[in-house]
Amino acid sequence: MSLPMIGLEKEGYLRGHADGHADGHAEGHAEGHAEGHAEGHAEALQQVVLRLLKRKFDPLSDALEAQVVALSPSLLLSLSEALLDFTTSADLQAWLQEHA
Protein backbone atom coordinates (compact mmCIF):
# COMPACT_ATOMS: atom_id res chain seq x y z
CA MET A 1 0.00 0.00 0.00
CA SER A 2 1.44 3.38 -0.96
CA LEU A 3 1.32 6.40 1.24
CA PRO A 4 -0.35 9.56 -0.01
CA MET A 5 2.00 12.30 -1.25
CA ILE A 6 2.33 15.42 0.80
CA GLY A 7 3.27 19.00 0.03
CA LEU A 8 6.64 19.22 -1.71
CA GLU A 9 6.63 15.61 -2.87
CA LYS A 10 3.37 16.15 -4.73
CA GLU A 11 4.56 19.47 -6.17
CA GLY A 12 7.82 17.87 -7.37
CA TYR A 13 5.96 14.94 -8.86
CA LEU A 14 3.56 17.23 -10.74
CA ARG A 15 6.37 19.48 -11.97
CA GLY A 16 8.39 16.46 -13.12
CA HIS A 17 5.38 15.01 -14.86
CA ALA A 18 4.65 18.31 -16.62
CA ASP A 19 8.31 18.77 -17.64
CA GLY A 20 8.49 15.21 -18.95
CA HIS A 21 5.28 15.69 -20.89
CA ALA A 22 6.52 18.96 -22.42
CA ASP A 23 9.90 17.43 -23.33
CA GLY A 24 8.23 14.40 -24.90
CA HIS A 25 5.82 16.58 -26.82
CA ALA A 26 8.61 18.80 -28.16
CA GLU A 27 10.74 15.80 -29.15
CA GLY A 28 7.79 14.11 -30.86
CA HIS A 29 6.93 17.31 -32.70
CA ALA A 30 10.52 17.73 -33.93
CA GLU A 31 10.74 14.11 -35.09
CA GLY A 32 7.38 14.35 -36.84
CA HIS A 33 8.39 17.58 -38.53
CA ALA A 34 11.69 16.12 -39.75
CA GLU A 35 10.01 12.94 -40.98
CA GLY A 36 7.31 14.90 -42.79
CA HIS A 37 9.92 17.14 -44.39
CA ALA A 38 11.94 14.15 -45.62
CA GLU A 39 8.84 12.45 -47.03
CA GLY A 40 7.79 15.66 -48.77
CA HIS A 41 11.24 16.06 -50.29
CA ALA A 42 11.25 12.46 -51.55
CA GLU A 43 7.78 12.85 -53.04
CA ALA A 44 8.77 16.07 -54.81
CA LEU A 45 11.89 14.42 -56.23
CA GLN A 46 9.79 11.50 -57.41
CA GLN A 47 7.33 13.84 -59.16
CA VAL A 48 10.10 15.77 -60.92
CA VAL A 49 11.79 12.59 -62.17
CA LEU A 50 8.46 11.22 -63.41
CA ARG A 51 7.67 14.48 -65.21
CA LEU A 52 11.06 14.46 -66.92
CA LEU A 53 10.69 10.82 -67.97
CA LYS A 54 7.15 11.37 -69.27
CA ARG A 55 8.32 14.36 -71.26
CA LYS A 56 11.21 12.39 -72.73
CA PHE A 57 9.37 9.07 -73.31
CA ASP A 58 5.70 10.00 -73.62
CA PRO A 59 3.92 7.79 -72.93
CA LEU A 60 5.71 6.17 -70.02
CA SER A 61 4.36 2.67 -69.39
CA ASP A 62 2.59 1.94 -66.12
CA ALA A 63 5.17 -0.77 -65.38
CA LEU A 64 8.10 1.64 -65.75
CA GLU A 65 6.30 4.30 -63.71
CA ALA A 66 5.68 1.80 -60.92
CA GLN A 67 9.38 0.86 -60.87
CA VAL A 68 10.39 4.51 -60.65
CA VAL A 69 7.89 5.17 -57.84
CA ALA A 70 9.39 2.26 -55.86
CA LEU A 71 12.92 3.76 -55.93
CA SER A 72 14.56 5.18 -52.81
CA PRO A 73 15.32 8.91 -52.73
CA SER A 74 19.04 8.29 -53.35
CA LEU A 75 18.27 6.17 -56.44
CA LEU A 76 15.79 8.78 -57.67
CA LEU A 77 18.54 11.36 -57.43
CA SER A 78 20.90 9.12 -59.41
CA LEU A 79 18.18 8.51 -61.99
CA SER A 80 17.55 12.25 -62.31
CA GLU A 81 21.12 12.62 -63.60
CA ALA A 82 21.27 9.42 -65.63
CA LEU A 83 18.08 10.16 -67.56
CA LEU A 84 19.79 13.11 -69.22
CA ASP A 85 21.82 10.58 -71.24
CA PHE A 86 18.90 8.26 -72.11
CA THR A 87 17.81 8.21 -75.73
CA THR A 88 15.12 5.51 -75.55
CA SER A 89 12.93 3.93 -72.91
CA ALA A 90 15.15 0.85 -73.26
CA ASP A 91 17.91 2.91 -71.61
CA LEU A 92 15.57 3.54 -68.68
CA GLN A 93 14.67 -0.15 -68.49
CA ALA A 94 18.34 -1.13 -68.46
CA TRP A 95 19.11 1.44 -65.74
CA LEU A 96 16.24 0.18 -63.60
CA GLN A 97 17.35 -3.45 -64.01
CA GLU A 98 20.86 -2.51 -62.96
CA HIS A 99 19.93 -0.30 -59.98
CA ALA A 100 16.56 -1.43 -58.65
Q: Where are the domains of the chain?
A: 7-99
Task: Kindly give, in sequence order, each residue whose CB lies less than 8 Å from that of residue 77, ignoring residues fewer than 6 positions away.
Answer: 45
In the three-class reduction of DSSP (H, G, I as helix; E, B as strand; rest coil), residue 70 is classed as coil
Q: How high does pLDDT run on average in the chain?
A: 84
- Say which amino acid occupies 63: A
Q: How many helices (H) and strands (E) in the chain?
A: 4, 0
Q: What is the Cα–Cα distance from 18 to 36, expressed in whole angstroms?
A: 27
Predicted TM-score (pTM) of the model is 0.65
Burial of residue 53 (CB within 10 Å: 0-12, 13-18, 19+) is: buried
Written as tens digits, the pLDDT of the chain (100 aa) is 565 666 667 676 777 767 776 677 667 665 765 677 567 788 999 999 999 999 999 999 999 999 999 999 999 999 999 999 999 999 999 999 999 8
